[in-house]
Amino acid sequence: MTIRTVSALVLDGLSMFEFGVLCEVFGIDRSADGVPKFDFKVCAPEPGRPLRTSVGALLTPHHSLDDLVGADLVAIPALGNGPDFPQDALRAVRRAADNGSIILTVCSGAFLAGAAGLLDGRPCTTHWVHADELARRFPTARVDRNVLYVDDGNLITSAGTAAGIDACLHLVRRELGSEIANRIARRMVVPPHRDGGQRQYIDQPVPVRCSDRFAPHLDWILANLDKPHTVASLAARAHMSARTFARRFVEETGRTPMQWVTDQRVLYARTLLEETDLDIDRIAERCGFGTATLLRHHFRRIIGVTPSDYRRRFAGGHRRSGDAASA
């Protein structure tokens, strides 16, 4: 399928950045750069009526919901979590999907797709802040909290905000080829493709729901991440059998002891990568991984990118001095 017609659905409360992403990729005439011109329409239940946006500005769409049906692509920006979406908008999106349109959502736009019945039994994503609510609201949807976007054929859902750029460029690449996607990306001054997923942007706080009786054990582990730990050694320090300790640990944290220790070591490594100039070997030692190879393995598995890539993206401009600046 080649995308020629694109209809964006807008409602009261839409987020301007996510809508702007759709306009940038599909709404601007870049034919002078060799990019096919899309027939881009902005559609709403009441064309001509100004809509309130999330920042207080007004947007006046000029096309009706009828222009969703038959479009090659129906794009849904962040429109809030509902649940009170206009029924006529939901019907129009369902009709468009039934008639063969690709449906693309950005951030919380996935909630409208879910309300239209398009997420049932399908893989999807949304901003990590909303992922649990999306899974609760649509229990048969297979919500992936870690990725930037999910391509399920005629349904593409993206994570929060800038991940909409990734999803749109992916769709252009899939339907029109890498050369066209690269030309659009160059004009937008963004990478044609980003590595990793949402995991690298998610804050991962230490669990705080454990009991007062068990909390001191976790506090001691956090203060001694650089030391070698086994279930047996941690159980002995807690004056429990290994089996009892492991069971209690899962009850308190939702993770096995060694899974939890590894998670906290990676979290500490993130902090050191952001705030210090320590090289990877020293960070591995301080976090208890022992070797840079082991740190890289667990960091990429949990965060989705390598420690070096993470540092390049998130290191602050005033890092504390360490042993070296290489990563």
Residues 6+ positions from 178 with CB-CB distance below 8 Å:
192
CA distance 85 to 307: 42
Tell me the average pLDDT across 251-275: 87
Decide if 320 is inside a domain: no
Residue 158 and residue 279 in one domain = no
Residue 84 and residue 120 in one domain = yes
Residue 264 and residue 288 in one domain = yes
Contact of 129 with 75, CB cutoff 8 Å: no
Residue 175 and residue 69 in one domain = yes
Total number of domains in the chain:
2
Residue 18 and residue 160 in one domain = yes
Residues 6+ positions from 29 with CB-CB distance below 8 Å:
37
Per-residue pLDDT tens for 82-132?
Answer: 789 999 999 999 999 999 999 999 999 999 999 999 999 999 999 989 999
Residue 60 and residue 90 in one domain = yes
Residue 72 and residue 163 in one domain = yes
pLDDT at 208: 45
Per-residue pLDDT tens for 172-191?
Answer: 988 888 788 888 988 888 87
Residue 92 and residue 238 in one domain = no
Decide if 285 is inside a domain: yes
Instruction: Give me 171's structure tokens.
Output: 């769709």
CA distance 310 to 308: 5
What is the model's pTM?
0.65
CA distance 21 to 188: 10
Q: Mean pLDDT of all residues in the chain?
A: 88
Q: Which residues pair with 35 in a beta bridge?
A: none
Say what percent of the chain tops pLDDT 90. Answer: 61
Contact of 126 with 134, CB cutoff 8 Å: yes
Residue 129 and residue 99 in one domain = yes
Decide if 140 is inside a domain: yes
User: In terms of residue numbers, what domain contains 283?
Assistant: 215-314
pLDDT of residue 252 exceeding 80:
yes
Confidence of residue 316 (pLDDT cuts 50, 70, 90): low
Q: What is the CATH number of the domain that holds 108?
A: 3.40.50.880
